Amino acid sequence: MSDKIVLVLHRKSANEPYVKEAVKTVLKQGLDLRVLVPFNKAEKPRIVAESIERGAERIIAGGGDGTINAVVNALVGNGEQKPKVTLGIFPLGTANDFARGCGLPVEDLAECLRIACTRNGREIDVGVLNGRNFVNVASLGFGAEITATTPIQLKKALGGAAYTLMGMLKAMGATPYPGRVLIPGEEPIEGSMLFAAVGNNRLAGGGFDVAPKAKLDDGLLDLVVIRGDAGIQLGSIGKELEDPMNPDNVFIAYRQLAEFTIESDQKLHCNLDGEPIQKKNLRFSVRPKHLRVAY
């Protein structure tokens, strides 16, 4: 077995027949990879670091968006140096939003794994939230709250729809989060929000285009806010998302920024690439074209 290509596989996925079949298919095609299964989340950084020390040139994250985030943070660290290895994606999550946003054929796992093993890496930006790296989307407000509180068995039963169904039900009675956006060189923007997304990529919540103008390599993060002081009109919100940067929008505010901070007087629920956190101050920045990803 070669150490050049390493698949870091989520423990709960390791014994799934469809996962084993995809790995066997790739091996039969003559591609050589080593499969490693961390015992828990805390072990992933060690496995990634040891794989790189043994000469790995490509690390494949096998799991959902949370697994990808863990591998990305193990690779990028404090961001002082660009990782020399290429990241591959083997999408095994409930929503697989990052993989879908990259255009990967998520319904064909063997093909995704083949792409992860063979395709040249493209340089993408890496977002940073309070020192933690992310590559997809940070969602804030009621959507993130629902993602954090939806039972895992319901997520599995409904798939990506769990985020949407639960989120919309909660939205009808949601309490806006008061706060402000601080942008260097500008006056603070005061107001309240029902939901916000900070997108390095486009999709979140099970395939929803929450940051439709986002690009992985433009050196910017896309901030989209559903205002909490304008009421809830889902039809109008959806229509404004089709033209999010229209200055006449009432419900949607959309900015593309390299650095900003979101502050609130209460802890904001935030879902960062599938991982829930709660903070009052959320400081966002971007590492331009910092990581090579095969997609």
Structure tokens at 180: 């402000």
Question: Under 8 Å CB-to-CB from 104, ≥6 apart: which residues?
Answer: 89, 91, 112, 115, 295
Catalytic residue, chosen from 53, 80, 186, 275, is 275
Does residue 190 have an active-site annotation?
no
Which 3-state string (H, E, C) describes the chain? CCCCEEEEECHHHCCCHHHHHHHHHHHHCCCCCEEECCCCHHHHHHHHHHHHHCCCCEEEEEECHHHHHHHHHHHHCCCCCCCCCEEEEEECCCCCHHHHHCCCCCCCHHHHHHHHHHCCEEEEEEEEECCEEECCEEEEEHHHHHHHHCCHHHHHHHCCHHHHHHHHHHHCCCCCEEEEEECCCCCCEEEEEEEEEEECCCEECCCEECCCCCCCCCCCEEEEEEECCCCCCHHHHHHHHCCCCCCCCCCEEEEEECEEEEEEEEEEEEEECCEEEEEEEEEEEEEEEEEEEEC
Q: Which residue type does 71 have?
A: V
Task: Work out the burial of residue 26: count CB atoms within 10 Å of its CB; fewer than 13 is exposed, 13-18 middle, 19 or more buried.
Answer: buried
Active site residues: 275
